[in-house]
Amino acid sequence: MALTPEKFLKDKLSPDAFSKLIQLRNQKLLEFISEYIKKCNPASVFVCTDDAEDIEYIKKRSLHNGEEKALAISGHTVHFDNYLDQARDKKHTAILLPAGKTLDEKISTMDRTSGLDDIQNIMQDIMTGKEMIVRFFCLGPNASPFSIPAVQITDSAYVAHSEDLLYRPGYREFLRLGNSARFFKFIHSQGELDERNTCKNLDQRRVYIDLEEEIVYSANTQYGGNTIGLKKLAMRLAIQRAFNEGWLTEHMLIMAIHGPGGRSTYFTGAFPSLCGKTSTAMLEGETIVGDDIAYLHKKDGEVRAVNVEKGIFGIIMGINSKDDPIQWNALHSPNEVIFSNILVTSDLNAYWVGKDGEMPQKGENHSGEWWKGKQDDSGRDIPPSHPNARFTISLDAMQNLDKAAHDPAGVPISGIVYGGRDADTSVPVEEAFHWNHGIVTKGAALESETTAATLGKEGVRQFNPMSNLDFLSISIGNYVRINLDFGKNLKKSPLIFSVNYFLLDENGKFLNEKNDKKVWYRWMELRVNGDVEAIVTPTGRIPRYEDLNPLFKSILDKDYTLSEYTKQFTVRIPENLHKIDRIVNIYKNILDTPREIFMELSAQKDRLQKAQQEHGDYITPRQLS
Ligand code: OXD
Ligand code: MN
C-alpha cells in the first residue's frame, strides 16, 4: 500500500525538516512536496522557514556549492550562468494547455499531456546526490488581500538566495493560512553542472507552466528569468487568477512622484525588459515601491497597487554614478548584492559595460577567463559583461524606498504609463484622451524593439501589448478586455500616458538624454493634479513648451530650447498611420479582439488623416496650439 505523504515525509526527512512542514497543516502542500521528492530523488531536503538561521544556511550553501563567489565588498557575491543561458528562453517556455484549448499563436503553448510527459521524464532523478531546498514566500505584502502564498522547490541555493532578496517571507504566511492557503507551486532543478558550476544539459532546458495545477516547472537552466519561480513564472499563473477574479497582474513599476508642496502621486509604468523600467523606478528625487511586477485591484472606486516583490533583479549595463546615483551607491556599499554575468577583476571587484572608469583588460566573466579582444566561436568580440548582466538586491537597501512600499492595502494609483523602444513614432510623453483611448492606443498597441533580455535577435520591432506579451497565459483579446473593463466604475480614473525614451532624429541620434525622463514624470504629476494645460494632438495631449522649460531648468538645470522641444514633440503623421495599420492587422487575426480596439484605432486614424490634410506630414506643436 502506498505511504501517505505524512508517513513518506517522516521516513525521508530529518525530524527538524519534517516538523517544519507538518506544522503548516496543509495537506496539498505535503502531497506536492512528497511527490517531487519521490520524482527528483534528492540526497537530502532542507526546509527553510523565515528564521534568520535558515536563511543564513542558504547563503552559505550557495558559496559552498560554488554557485556564488564572494567579492571584495562585504555581502557582495557573483554568480555565472552558462554562456548560452543568459536570458529568458522563449523558445523552450510554454503554457501547457489541455486538449482542445488554444491561445493566440503569439503566445507559446504546448499540449498539456505531452508537456507533462516531457518534463516528468526530465525531472526523474534529476536531484540525485543533491540537496533539495523547500522555501516559502509571499507574492505581495504580508497579510494583504492582494497577496498569494507560494512554495519553491529547487536544488539551486543561488535561486533560493536570490528569492530571499526579491520576495517577502512566506513560512509564517502558510502557518497563518493553514489548509486554506491557495498557493502557487514552483519546481526547479539546474540539472547536471559543468566544472564552472553552470548548466550542462541546455538541450534539455525547459520552462513549462501548468495553469490547471498552478505549478511551474523549470529544468536545466540557471538564468534568473527562467528559474526564479516567483518572478516571471508566477506572473503567468497570476495573470490567469486575475482574469478569473477581476483584477490585473501587470509588468509594471510602481513609484511615487513628488510634486509641489511635498505631495506624493503614485504611478505605475509598463515597459518591456531593458527599456528603462528600473531606471525610471529609481529616478532621483522620487521614491520606489517596485520596479517590475504589480497587482492592481479596485477598492472603493479607486485603483490600488502593490509590488509583488521586495527587491530588484536589475540590468546593470550602463549604470554609472552620474545618471544612477542611488543604484550606484547601493552597488558600492556593504550590503547583500548578487551580481550575475558581470566581469570580476583579480582584486574581486565587479565591472560592467557602462560603469565609470577604465575597462579592465582581463578577469572572469560569463565566458570563463576573459581578456580584452577575446572572441566567441563565430569570431565576435565577447564584451566584458553580458548586456543582460544583472544585480539582485533587496529594496530595503535603497535610500529611495517609498514609505508605503510594504503597505498591505497597496498605494492609490493616479497615473499609468506605457513605454517601449520606439525610434520613430511616438513623442517623448503624451497623455491619452481617456481610459479606453489609453488602454488601446498606448497599452494594447505598444511596440518595442527586442533586447538582450531574451535569447534571439535584438533590435527587431515587435508587438508587445502592455509589455506583457511574454507572460500572458490568457488570450490577448481577453487580456485587453480585462484592462478595458478595469476602467469601469472608478470614482476617479487614473490618467494614462505613453513615454518614449528612444526617439531618434533623422541622423539616428537620440533626441533626449537619459535623465530627461525626470521632467516627463514631473509634468505627468502636474497633469494628474490638474496644475498645467496641454496641447491636443491627433494622438493625445502633449506638454506646452512654457511648462517644460521651467521644469528642465529646476530639475536638470538645463536650458531647454524651443527648437529641441519642437523636434521632440512634432507629430509624425506617416509613422503613426503605419503603426495603426500594423496594429489593426495584428488584432484582425486575434480571435476575441474587443471591438473597442478597432473603434479607438479607427478614430485615431481619422484624426491623423484630417490633421495631415490640414498641416502636412509633420506637425509642430505650435501649429496645433
Ligand atoms: C525581467 C524581464 O527580468 O522582464 O524583469 O526580463
Ligand atoms: Mn521584467
pLDDT digits (tens, 9 = 90+) for 547-582: 999 999 999 999 999 999 999 999 999 999 999 999
Q: Given pLDDT bands bounded at 50, 70 and 90, which one contains residue 449?
A: confident
Mean pLDDT of the 155-175 span: 98
**Cα dihedral sign for 227, 231, 232, 237?**
positive
Residue 256 has a pLDDT of 98
Q: Is the CB of 313 under 6 A from ligand 1?
A: yes
Burial track 166-186 (b if 16+ CB lie within 10 A, e otherwise): bbbbbbbbbbebeeebebbbb
Q: Is the CB of 525 under 6 A from ligand 1?
A: no
Per-residue pLDDT tens over the stretch 91-115:
999 999 999 999 999 999 999 999 9
280 with 322, same domain: the answer is no
Out of 245, 268, 287, pick the residue that ends a domain.
245
Is the model's pLDDT at 2 over the cut of 90?
Answer: no
CA–centroid distance, residue 81 to ligand 1 (Å) = 16
CATH code where residue 560 lies: 3.90.228.20
CA–centroid distance, residue 230 to ligand 1 (Å) = 12
Number of domains in the chain: 3
Host H or E run for residue 527: helix 517-528
**Domain-located, residue 473:** yes
CA–centroid distance, residue 313 to ligand 2 (Å) = 9
138 is catalytic: no
Half-sphere exposure at residue 384, Cβ-oriented, CA atoms within 13 angstroms: 21
CA–centroid distance, residue 315 to ligand 1 (Å) = 9
CA–centroid distance, residue 554 to ligand 1 (Å) = 33
Q: Is the CB of 438 under 6 A from ligand 1?
A: no
Longest CA span, the chain: 83
Q: Given pLDDT bands bounded at 50, 70 and 90, which one contains residue 450?
A: confident
Give the residues across from 370 on adjacent strands: 363
523 with 614, same domain: the answer is yes
Rounded Cα gap, residues 341 and 181, in angstroms: 37
188 with 55, same domain: the answer is yes
Nearest CA to ligand 1 atom 3: 225
294 with 340, same domain: the answer is no
Out of 343, 368, 397, pick the residue that ends a domain.
397
**Domain-located, residue 81:** no
Is the model's pLDDT at 456 over the cut of 80?
Answer: no
Q: Which atom number of ligand 1 is nearest to the Cα of residue 454? A: 6
Contacts 24+ apart (CB under 8 A), 604-608: 604/437, 604/441, 604/538, 604/539, 604/576, 604/580, 605/577, 605/580, 607/538, 607/539, 608/538, 608/539, 608/573, 608/576, 608/577, 608/580
335 with 442, same domain: the answer is no
Out of 245, 273, 302, pick the residue that ends a domain.
245
Q: Which atom number of ligand 1 is nearest to the Cα of residue 225? A: 3
Ligand 1 pocket, mutate which of 85, 86, 88, 390 (most atoms under 8 A from CB) = 88
CATH code where residue 39 lies: 3.40.449.10
361 with 468, same domain: the answer is no
Q: Is the CB of 258 under 6 A from ligand 1?
A: no
Q: Is the CB of 273 under 6 A from ligand 1?
A: yes
Classify 320 as helix, strand or coil: coil
Mean pLDDT of the 536-557 span: 98
Nearest CA to ligand 1 atom 4: 273
99 with 200, same domain: the answer is yes
**Domain-located, residue 80:** no
**Domain-located, residue 84:** no
Mean pLDDT of the 343-370 span: 97
Rounded Cα gap, residues 44 and 14, in angstroms: 9
Nearest CA to ligand 1 atom 2: 273
**Domain-located, residue 493:** yes
358 with 420, same domain: the answer is no
**Taking a C-beta distance cutoff of 8 angstroms, is the pair 494, 414 a contact?**
yes
CATH code where residue 320 lies: 2.170.8.10
Residue 1 has a pLDDT of 66
In 139-294, which residue ranges form alpha helices assigned H by DSSP? 157-166, 171-177, 224-227, 234-245, 277-281
CA–centroid distance, residue 304 to ligand 2 (Å) = 20
301 with 324, same domain: the answer is no
Q: Which atom number of ligand 1 is nearest to the Cα of residue 277? A: 5
269 with 341, same domain: the answer is no
Rounded Cα gap, residues 4 and 414, in angstroms: 51
Q: Is the CB of 183 under 6 A from ligand 1?
A: no
389 with 446, same domain: the answer is no
Non-local CB neighbours of 438 within 8 Å, separated by 6+ positions: 416, 418, 432, 495, 496, 497
CA–centroid distance, residue 14 to ligand 1 (Å) = 37
263 with 344, same domain: the answer is no
Residue-number span of the structural domain to which 222 is assigned: 5-67+91-245
**Domain-located, residue 497:** yes
Residue 295 has a pLDDT of 98
Mean pLDDT of the 431-455 span: 92
Q: Given pLDDT bands bounded at 50, 70 and 90, which one contains residue 618?
A: very high
Q: From the CA of 312, which ligand is nearest?
A: 1
Ligand 1 pocket, mutate which of 275, 313, 466 (most atoms under 8 A from CB) = 313
Burial track 577-603 (b if 16+ CB lie within 10 A, e otherwise): bebbeebbebbeebeebbebbeebbee
Catalytically annotated residue among 40, 48, 199, 275:
275
**Taking a C-beta distance cutoff of 8 angstroms, is the pair 281, 199 a contact?**
no
> Percentages helix, strand, coil for the chain, rounded to the nearest 5?
35, 25, 40
Q: From the CA of 251, which ligand is nearest?
A: 2
Rounded Cα gap, residues 583 and 579, in angstroms: 6
3-state SS record for 350-418: EECCCCCCCCCCEEEECCEEEECCCECCCCCECCCCCCCCEEEEEHHHCCCECCCCCCCCCEEEEEEEE
Classify 47 as helix, strand or coil: strand
- The predicted model scores a pTM of 0.96
**Domain-located, residue 337:** yes
Q: From the CA of 314, which ligand is nearest?
A: 1
Give the residues across from 499 on adjacent strands: 419, 429
Indicate the average pLDDT of the chain: 96
Q: From the CA of 166, which ligand is nearest?
A: 1
Is the model's pLDDT at 455 over the cut of 90?
Answer: no
Q: Which atom number of ligand 1 is nearest to the Cα of residue 293? A: 5
**Domain-located, residue 593:** yes
Q: From the CA of 88, which ligand is nearest?
A: 1
CA–centroid distance, residue 38 to ligand 1 (Å) = 32
